[in-house]
Amino acid sequence: MSNPENEKCSSSSAESDLSDVLKRGSSTLCEEHLPKCSSDWNCHLVNKLCVRYKLEDIIRIIWSEWRLFHLDDDDRLEIERCVNACDLKLNYESLQDIAPNTTTPIEEFAETWGPTQRQLRLIQAEPLLDKFLFKLDEFNYCLAQIVAESESNKEISEWKYQCLFEKLLHLFGIYTWSPPFISTKKSQIMGRTMTSKADLLCCSSDPAVQRPILCVCEVKKTLPEKVCQPPAKKLRNSSSVDTGNVDNSSWSQHIGDLFVYLDKSSVNEGILGISVKKTWVQVTFLKVKDPCLEKIRNMPVNSQGSVKLCDDDEHPIFYYSECYNFLKQRDRIIIFKALLTIRRMQGRFEAGRDATR
């Protein structure tokens, strides 16, 4: 999601021009057609960078691909305890399904799906949930306010969805940067300066570190309906290269954002992402090995074809999960487990970093 006044870096015609150029047989890209901002990226530019797509389990993306810190069995058990303690009864398909007259007073609205007495005791006993109850009140207030102000047959603003998702992140003490505190980020792509301004950033508790970004969040304005539907079937144990079941063009801007922010990622050779469409959430990860990144940065803008890579193992890989709805109880358990895993890895990573100073 972008502020229409100052966050859109160029007009939509730039993307159209880029598409026309890259569809030509020579696949030559001229300097004047290279977008200056990630918001103008399309699938043709992503293909020129040889990005491959993989559908992957949401927890596996965090645990095996991002892997900020190796967690032991005790950490796993702690996360499971916290997930069970946070299994709230809130269960809707969308914000429009919540009747506005049920949100007042807020205390009664929250009590209908809030933690049980047993869950309260569990939450209070878990250090990983030390902010949960306080931040849950803020989430409840934001949710109730959005619903109370909503009008029938009128779309809810993407800014409100972004605010609500940010409140969700805060339940687990995840630090965030959001407008107006996000500055334009610059990076070199194909020998030219590329800019990006993320909708939301999840960051280290110390913003002054050299690589503070845990995760780049995109709040989508538009997305094909089929992408935001619940998964039709369970994933197999092993992932494979995407065969076209998903409209990969919808990922172009997000992939552009990840490329631009890559050098500020807390992990080497990759960066974690989250894509949000209303209350639907997907976790992503862009894996780019250093030799490949150097070629992408220094590739001449008018070079023929795609970036020249030595072998298949050098290709950038974009991992993405199924969609999960944080208003649905069953989906929210999975989202909470993902966020708790991120938070625990962050805590362990920062403790280890501080110990070596």
Q: Do 123 and 132 form a contact (C-beta atoms < 8 A)?
A: yes
Q: Which of 249, 240, 326 is nearest to 283 (CA)?
A: 326
pLDDT tens-place string over residues 138-180: 999 999 999 999 888 789 999 999 999 999 999 999 999 999 9
Higher pLDDT, residue 247 or 290: 290
Three-state SS for 283? Answer: strand
pLDDT band at 220 (very low <50, low <70, confident <90, very high): confident
Q: What is the pLDDT of the chain when averaged over all its residues? A: 86
Question: Residue 229: how many CB atoms within 10 A of its CB?
Answer: 11
Burial 53-89 (b: 16+ CB within 10 A, else e): bbbbbbebbbbebbebbebeeebeebbebbbebbebe
347 φ, ψ to 5°?
-60, -45
Q: Are 223 and 233 in contact (CB under 8 A)?
A: no
Cβ atoms of 222 and 12 closer than 8 Å: no
Q: Who wins on pLDDT, 99 or 334?
A: 334
The contacts of residue 23 (CB under 8 Å, 6+ apart) are 44
- Confidence check: pLDDT of 355 > 90: no
Amino acid at 148: A
Residue-wise pLDDT for 259-296, tens only, equals 999 999 999 999 999 999 999 999 999 999 999 999 99
Q: How far is CA 236 from CA 56, 193, 240, 247, in A?
A: 9, 40, 9, 20
What are the pLDDT digits (tens) for 15-57?
Answer: 445 445 444 433 455 555 788 999 999 998 999 999 999 999 9
Burial (CB < 10 A; 0-12, 13-18, 19+), residue 8, is middle
Q: Could you tell me which residue, 33 or 257, shows the higher pLDDT? A: 257
Is 51 within 8 Å of 315 (Cβ atoms)? yes
pLDDT at 357: 59
Task: Tell which residue, 292, 313, 357, 343, has the closest CA to residue 75.
Answer: 343
Gap between the Cα atoms of 216 and 200, Å rounded: 6
pTM, rounded to two decimals: 0.86
Task: Report which listed range, 22-31, 292-301, 302-311, is most confident.
Answer: 292-301
E strand residue ranges, the chain = 52-55, 175-177, 185-189, 192-196, 200-203, 213-219, 270-277, 280-287, 317-320, 324-325
| Res. 193: pLDDT tops 80 | yes
- Residue 31's pLDDT is what? 53
